[in-house]
């Protein structure tokens, strides 16, 4: 089935998953991200956050239960039409040997020059690209060797803008950057998240305090769910994570 139109609603229904038999990674995960919502995933390393974002575009399939987009089980959709509605901005950005233009166009190969320029403006990438000796024709090197961390992320975000996704998946993209670069990337991500549903892996709890819903994962289960204020009031695992990172400041 082709997913022609997409509102961006994502639903996990009693999802179980294991990479190796007998070692469950997700154990009955159920949640819904409504169209246009921002849903954050927090929890210790190994709790299942990365697995959840891998199941939405079908990098893996569930062992049992279902992942649905707009009510359709993703296993019933063509891979091309499903992934065509999704963009990912990961902590370790992916780039290929070729020019800056090539790497941005990977998000939408048929895009016009003006569409590429606008995507770069939205991603706060245009100024640094124009300052390069070759501009858009600058070779980036395998895995973006010739670019800084912040430049790589802004190219990845430009690629996502060009894709105009209904579902955006973020693996916190601002770690290990200087303050000014982090500000530019945060600004561009805020614009990008306004266009659809966003699922965010949060390593720093402070980056998701404004999410519509925060899911706290622990050993493959959702142990808590709510807004930042609700979870802080509850005094459970989320409050412990936040307090550990920020000294109790709400």
Q: Could you report the per-residue pLDDT of 33-54, keeping only the tens digit for each?
A: 999 999 999 998 889 999 999 9
Report the predicted TM-score, pTM, of the whole model to 2 decimal places: 0.89
Question: pLDDT > 70: what percent of the chain?
Answer: 95
pLDDT attached to residue 194: 87
What's the mean per-residue pLDDT of the chain? Answer: 90
Of 120, 128, 196, the C-alpha closest to 162 is 120
> Strands 38-42, 197-201: parallel, antiparallel or unpaired by DSSP?
parallel
- 23 sits in which H/E element: strand 23-33
Confidence grade of residue 250 (pLDDT, cut at 50, 70, 90): low
Which residue has tokens 């100024």? Answer: 127
Quote the CA–CA distance of 173 and 17 in Å, as a whole number: 26
Overall average pLDDT of the 99-112 stretch: 93
Confidence grade of residue 249 (pLDDT, cut at 50, 70, 90): low
Confidence grade of residue 91 (pLDDT, cut at 50, 70, 90): confident
In tens, the pLDDT along 159-176 reads 999 999 999 999 876 665
Question: pLDDT > 90: what percent of the chain?
Answer: 66
In tens, the pLDDT along 109-131 reads 999 999 999 999 999 999 999 99
In tens, the pLDDT along 200-239 reads 998 878 778 889 999 999 999 999 999 999 999 998 899 9
C-alpha distances (whole Å) from 222 to each of 49, 114, 195 are 10, 43, 27
pLDDT attached to residue 208: 85
Confidence grade of residue 148 (pLDDT, cut at 50, 70, 90): confident
Token pair, residue 109, equals: 């190969």
């Amino acid at each position: 089935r082709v997913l022609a139109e997409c509102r961006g609603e994502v639903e996990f229904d009693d999802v179980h998953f294991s990479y190796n038999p007998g070692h469950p990674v997700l154990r009955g995960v159920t949640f819904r991200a409504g169209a246009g919502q921002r849903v954050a995933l927090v929890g210790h390393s190994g709790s299942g956050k990365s697995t959840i974002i891998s199941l939405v575009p079908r990098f893996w399939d569930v062992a049992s239960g279902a992942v649905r987009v707009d009510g359709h089980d993703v296993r019933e959709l063509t891979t091309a039409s499903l992934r065509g509605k999704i963009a990912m901005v990961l902590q370790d950005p992916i780039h290929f040997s070729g020019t800056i233009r090539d790497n941005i166009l990977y998000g939408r190969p048929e895009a016009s020059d003006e569409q590429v320029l606008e995507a770069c403006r939205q991603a706060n990438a245009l100024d640094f690209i124009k300052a390069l000796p070759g501009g858009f024709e600058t070779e980036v090197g395998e895995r973006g060797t010739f670019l800084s961390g912040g430049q790589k992320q802004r190219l990845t975000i430009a690629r996502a803008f060009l894709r105009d996704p209904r579902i955006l998946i973020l693996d916190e993209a601002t770690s290990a950057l200087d303050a000014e670069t982090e500000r530019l990337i945060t600004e561009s991500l805020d614009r990008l998240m306004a266009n659809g549903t966003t699922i965010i892996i949060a390593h720093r709890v402070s980056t998701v305090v404004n999410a519509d819903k925060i899911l706290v994962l622990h050993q493959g289960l959702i142990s808590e769910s709510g807004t930042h204020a609700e979870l802080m009031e509850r005094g459970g695992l989320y409050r412990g994570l936040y307090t550990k990172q920020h000294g109790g400041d709400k």
